[in-house]
Amino acid sequence: MKILPILSAILVIGALYMVVLERERLMAWLPAPAETEETAEAVAEEETVAVIEETDVTQPIAVVALRSEAREVQSGIILRGRTEAARNVDVAAETTGQVISPPLRKGRQVQEGDLLCRLDAQTRQAELAQARAALAEAQANEVAASQLSQRGITSENQAISRRAQLEAAIASVEAAEREIERLEIRAPFAGVLETDTAELGSLLTSGTVCATILDLSEIRLVGFAAERDVNKIQVGAQAGARLISGEEVTGQVVFVGRSADPLTRTFRVEVVVPNADGALRDGSTAEIVIALAGVTAHLLPQASLTLDDTGALGVRVVEEGVAMFKPVEIIRDGADGVWVSGLDTQEDVIVVGQEFVNDGRSVAPTFREAGADETDHTFLIPGLPLDGPAPQLTTLADMMPSESEGDEAALSASDVLADAPAQAVQAEIGMAPPRARPGNLRVPDAAAEDIAQ
């Protein structure tokens, strides 16, 4: 009965010994696991990296470069904004009274000085008559006091007092006349009524709105510029806008704010647009484009852009036979490429193979002229050091194995470089390739054998 525990202990000790002390020999006895596609790719990539690392780094890398010359290009800033009427005024009453005029309906065109609302005069006419009577009495008293003072019958002070009473009477008459004028509320400028005027019989007090008038002879496009862009905008710059209705208008910048909005930290920008026919409306959404001063820029394929180790956007250029990274700033982009600034007047920009070289690495560029036929897929294989003439692939058909090759086309450590032509095709036709790695490159077996040697 005690022999079984002893045998079990011996087996456990033996198993532990093999797992801990004889692990390599144990793994050698076990059958190798089935190689998955990912495992094969990882092994192939490691072998390829080893092959490339063993290659002499002094040998130049084959790349395709574009000789680019800077050109003057117009740029602009796009703002989201809205339209505003040149003037939008609430015409309010300056005195208290009941409206006795019929209302004018909204949408009606009015001219400067047109009557909007008339208020009941009530006792104001009587007050004006009383003020005029007091003025006549004050005038007579002032004349009499002045004559008596000249004769020495009355003192000079009495004459001055009568003169002061006269001035007060004159002011009372003017105030009464002004109060009567306020009974008629008139349009301060030509425009269109945005609201009905006050209804007949309604009571208006000082400050109560009689009507709202819009002046649409000019329209202001109001946008808000970010802090980084506001210094680029100058008063007098040309600007345009596309309204939500699809209509396009042009004008000039007339105002750039000096104080930022406390919530959005943006600055108000205003553009004046003529609107003689009144077709443009107040409050419409607009996409505003403000022209900036021309800048010198290069037109490059989008695929030529890359990132350095710090994440800065730029391109790699050829300088004295070596690759160098230069940061750039995108001015604008389009179907034909991107306009970038930050480069010298003339640059040799690497457009194929820039992902396979680092700063200071020697390169052997093949130059492509600007505007070359993008459908020409004859290129060098990027990423391969040159030892004599660079290998070339002329067409996509040359990159594919024939049917007769069958399984012989399977990946091995020597032909894992076969994706480089595909990467180059994407770059040639303007497609942004994925971040290149040495393991993504493929070359014909013969070329790989030369590298391995």
> 309 with 285, same domain?
no
3-state DSSP call for residue 371? coil
The DSSP line for 424-446 is: HHHHHTT--PPPP-GGG----HH
Tokens coding 37: 């596609």
Residue from 317, 369, 374 nearest 343 by CA: 317
Give the pLDDT band (50/70/90) at residue 147: confident
In sign, the C-alpha dihedral spanning 39, 42, 46, 52 is positive
Which residue among 160, 181, 202 closes a domain? 181
Specify whether 371 is located in the same domain as 272: no
The reply to whether 233 and 346 lie within a common domain is: no
The answer on 385 and 340 residing in a single domain is yes
- Whether 174 and 257 map to the same domain: the answer is no
The CATH number for 382's domain is 2.40.420.20
Give the confidence band of 151 by pLDDT, cuts at 50, 70, 90. confident
- CA dist 304 and 428 (Å) reads 10
Do 389 and 435 fall into the same domain? yes
Q: Render pLDDT for 183-237 as a digit per residue (tens, 0 to 9).
A: 999 999 999 999 999 999 999 999 999 999 999 999 999 999 999 889 889 899 9
Say how far apart CA 269 and CA 290 lie, in whole Å. Answer: 10
Give residue 231's domain range. Answer: 77-83+211-295
Beta-carbon contacts of 137 under 8 Å, excluding residues fewer than 6 positions away, are 169
User: What tokens appear for 444 in the block?
Assistant: 């014909």
Structural tokens at position 285: 């959404």
Q: Is 227 among the domain residues?
A: yes
pLDDT in tens, 84-129: 999 999 999 999 999 999 999 999 999 999 999 999 988 888 888 9
Quote the CA–CA distance of 323 and 63 in Å, as a whole number.
Answer: 10
pLDDT of residue 124: 87
CATH number (domain holding residue 171): 1.10.287
Q: Where does the pLDDT of residue 387 fall: very low under 50, low under 70, confident under 90, or very high at 90 and above?
A: very low
Please count the structural domains in the chain: 3
Residue 423 to residue 420: CA distance in whole angstroms: 5
Residues 377 and 439 in one domain: yes
Within-domain flag for 381: yes
Give the per-residue pLDDT at 87: 92
- What's the one-letter identity of residue 164? A
Q: Judge if 392 and 342 occupy the same domain.
A: yes
Confidence label for 6 from pLDDT (cuts 50, 70 and 90): confident
3-state SS of the chain: helix, strand, coil percent to 5?
30, 30, 40
User: What percentage of residues in the chain have a pLDDT greater than 70?
Assistant: 75
Domain co-membership, 280 together with 323: no
**Whether the predicted pLDDT of 404 surpasses 60:** no
Structure confidence at residue 43 (pLDDT): 65
Domain boundary among 262, 295, 328: 295
Average model confidence (pLDDT) for the chain? 78
Q: Considering 295, 325, 351, which residue would you say is the last residue of a domain?
A: 295
In this structure, is residue 107 part of a structural domain? no
Distance of CA 38 to the CA centre of its chain: 42
Domain holding 257: CATH number? 2.40.30.170
**What mean pLDDT is predicted for residues 170-188?**
92
Minimum mean pLDDT range among 45-59, 104-118, 315-329, 418-432: 418-432
What is the sign of the dihedral through the CA atoms of 399, 402, 403 and 408?
negative
Q: How far apart are CA 216 and CA 236, in angstroms?
A: 21
Looking at the fold, whether 132 and 242 belong to one and the same domain comes out as: no
Q: Could you give phi then psi for residue 323, rounded to 5 degrees?
A: -90, 140
